[in-house]
Homo-oligomer: A and B are copies of this chain.
Amino acid sequence: MKIIWVGLFVLASVWAVAQEPLPSWNEGQNKTKIINYVKKVTETESVDFIPQEDRIAVFDNDGTLWSEQPVYFQFFFAMDRIKTLAPEHPEWKTEEPFKSLLEGNIKSVLASGKEGVLKLIMATHTGMSDEEFDAIIIDWIKTAKHPSKKVLYSELVFQPMLELLDYLRTNGFQTFIVSGGGIDFMRPWASEVYGIPSNQIIGSEIEVKYENKKIVRVPKVRFIDDKEGKPVGIHYHIGKRPVMAFGNSDGDFAMMEYTEANTKYKTLQLYVHHTDEKREWAYDRKSHVGKLDKGLDYGNEHNWTIVDMKKDWKVIYPFEMKE
């Protein structure tokens, strides 16, 4: 049998060379840091070896795995949905923030604050069964286009991060999404787009109840998976401290700090810094979406990996590779 195993081993090696990891990442300090970390914690003889069941990697979604400008894409979904539902709701012609939204006055919608946004979320995300909501989301993600990029929202995922997800899974990591966005907004499409099963997608939650053999969505917020909520979401859904954490904003800071404080294993924290105003967007300390201020200072001081999108990434989106 020895010849067979040698043969398979040679085949595997050829495959590994053909599939050099992270092809869309430019050579440099950040790519090296990621690859060195993965080697260190996966080589059996390494002092930093992590058993496979504890290789937990958590990823924020908005701004980390896909874009989030000029507003979170889930907000675009809510706006599109309000327009679709408007004929059934004549009262929205006079009721804020629906009135402003239907008149195309987005600034005024955003100015309505938390309360206004919550009204939009409840009107568009609740009152139906979970299976009906899934169908609405799938229809939207397959057809709706980003206002300035003019492509499907699912095309605005980051190619280098897709490669990173694959690379980690190939090395025995379990990849989880831990997002401030809605858990039920992501699940219908994110499994396919990111290769992450629904039970590894964590996010903010609407109340649901079991009724007539169905899960029905109730107009009440159950859980906000943001800031200090992220370690809490990780606790309930994963039940283990992660060893790798990926984010792009101060909203991810608690999750990354929680990961860094893992006393059992060597860890890695990575911030995606949006520095590319040409290919994507450039924003950080003063942005109303994905603000990165405290985290940038802390990360720089604590040897976190700060990805410079402009310098570190050969391409941003998958469609650039076909061009």
> Which A residues lie at the B interface, using CB under 8 A?
4, 53, 130, 174, 176, 183-184, 187, 191, 197-201, 205, 208-210, 213-215, 228-232, 235-240, 254, 257-258, 261
The CA of A285 and the CA of B291, in the complex, are separated in Å by: 58
Q: Is the CB of B187 within 8 A of A239?
A: yes
Q: Which of B215, B238, B239, B258 contacts A210 (CB 8 A)?
A: B258
Q: Is the CB of A257 within 8 A of B199?
A: no
Q: Is the CB of B199 within 8 A of A239?
A: yes
Q: Is the CB of A238 within 8 A of B199?
A: yes
Distance to closest chain B CB from A227 (angstroms): 9
Given A209-B228, A232-B209, do A199 and B258 touch, yes or no (CB 8 Å)?
no
Distance to closest chain B CB from A133 (angstroms): 11
Given A210-B258, A257-B213, A261-B213, do A236 and B198 touch, yes or no (CB 8 Å)?
no
The CA of A71 and the CA of B239, in the complex, are separated in Å by: 26
Q: Is the CB of A210 within 8 A of B237?
A: no
Q: A199-B200, A213-B257 are in contact. List 11 more A-B contacts (CB 8 A).
A: A53-B191, A130-B235, A174-B199, A184-B239, A199-B238, A208-B232, A209-B232, A210-B228, A210-B258, A213-B258, A237-B237
Q: Is the CB of A210 within 8 A of B53?
A: no
The CA of A33 and the CA of B200, in the complex, are separated in Å by: 31
Q: Is the CB of A254 within 8 A of B199?
A: no
Q: Which of B183, B231, B257 contacts A215 (CB 8 A)?
A: B231
Q: Is the CB of B239 within 8 A of A205?
A: no
Q: Which of B184, B239, B258 contacts A198 (CB 8 A)?
A: B239
Distance to closest chain B CB from A174 (angstroms): 8
Q: Is the CB of B183 within 8 A of A236?
A: yes
Q: Which of B197, B210, B238 contacts A232 (CB 8 A)?
A: B210
Chain B residues contacting A187 (CB-CB under 8 Å) are 239
The CA of A176 and the CA of B257, in the complex, are separated in Å by: 29
Chain B residues contacting A176 (CB-CB under 8 Å) are 199
